[in-house]
Structure 1
Amino acid sequence: MPIVTIQQGPRQVEQKRELVERITAAFVETLECPAESVLVWIQEYPAEN
């Protein structure tokens, strides 16, 4: 099961959704794993850090 952790500043919900969809698609296409097995964790930090 692929696990991806992203650390970033705040983003809009729609941007995060698209990012997760594209990352998941890359794993499905490249590793031929089921989309349900890909976990993407987004940790947001204040922009001033």
Structure 2
Amino acid sequence: MNLRLSHLAAAAQPITEIAASLGFATPNYASRCFKKFVGTSPKNISKPIS
């Protein structure tokens, strides 16, 4: 599970595509799992710092 979730943080693809490729039922579920394990959403991780 950790490898899958780290893929979400490192990828430049949309979360919907990553979630489907990793076998999650929905992008929402993938995001919730990521937040549970990492402590923040994939959206916050992939946001560029300005």
Please identify which structure carries the higher strand content: 1
TM-score when scaled to structure 1? 0.38
Relative to the length of structure 2, the TM-score reads 0.38
Q: Of Structure 1 and Structure 2, which has the larger fraction of its residues in helix?
A: 2
